[in-house]
Amino acid sequence: MRALWKGALSFGLVNIPVKLYPATAAKSLKFNYLHKKCGAPLGYVKRCTECGEEVPWEEIGRGYQYEKGRYVIMEDKDFESLPKALTRTVRILDFVDISEIDPVYFQKSYYLIPDEIGVRPYILLREAMQEMGKAALGKVVIKEKEYLATVRVQDKSLVMETMFYADEIRNQNLFPELVTEVEPHPKELKMAKTLIDNLASHFDPKKYKDQYREALLEIVQHKIEGEEITAPKEEEQAKVIDLMEALKASVDQIKQRRKKSVGSKGA
């Protein structure tokens, strides 16, 4: 796997040479747009809004609009002239408790992998953070954008999570439904807690699968083999108006499901 960039993890006067790798890879089916008439894929054409000509890739540049209709053209060398301390460094500013950060701030995960000469200080930082239960909070530039980021310990590695800034999080007061407070009935609250307790478990990521992708792949395979696709009948949802009744029905459903699960294991 090719590293996104090579640089340093910096805290205080310590600089640890690291390489940045994506920690995740989203799995989904990719569909191309086709011409239904002949089944050929459609091309993507970039056309100039002024002269109407199709523009080849080598003639495409990046521009910043500093006034309406006026742009300054940016070349690759302009971005390369930025200080490497900004573009190739994860600059740690503070150490915090990870529990203090609301997950809404997190964007994407990356592995920070040390170069050979950086293994010793990397492990030292990892072990110190692990023993103290701390995560690092810092800044990093990826693809011409500076992100707030956390660096935390995951098993043997340090994982960096890019984050949104506070002004990028939408205010919940924008939603009038959240402004109105409704006092829950004590019995309803007790039943809701019972339902949560019955569904309580330990997090195991291997337990969850992308059922939509699996079903879509199955349809694709049927079409490749020339089989007819029939839509499954929708199960009718019981219209339960009473909240207490819905909670009780949910708890009973979970209990029955657990009994069946235990019975099938015993068999």
Q: Using an 8 Å Cβ cutoff, are 247 and 195 in contact?
A: yes
What pLDDT score was predicted for residue 28?
A: 85
CA distance 178 to 173: 7
10-residue stretch averages of pLDDT, the chain, 267 residues long: 90 89 88 88 87 88 88 84 79 93 95 93 95 94 90 95 94 81 83 84 85 84 82 64 74 79 63
DSSP letter at 135? E
Compute the half-sphere exposure of residue 197: CA atoms within 13 Å on the CB side of its CA. 7
Domain boundaries, the chain: 5-26+81-168, 182-266
CA distance 267 to 252: 23
The CATH fold of domain 5-26+81-168? Ku70; Chain: A; Domain 2 (2.40.290)
What pLDDT score was predicted for residue 164?
A: 95
Strands (E), the chain: 5-11, 14-22, 62-67, 70-74, 89-96, 106-114, 135-142, 145-154, 157-163
CA distance 220 to 231: 14
Strands 135-142 and 62-67: unpaired
Contacts of 219 (CB under 8 A, 6+ apart): 229
Indicate the pTM of the whole model: 0.75
- Extract the tokens encoding 111: 């592995």
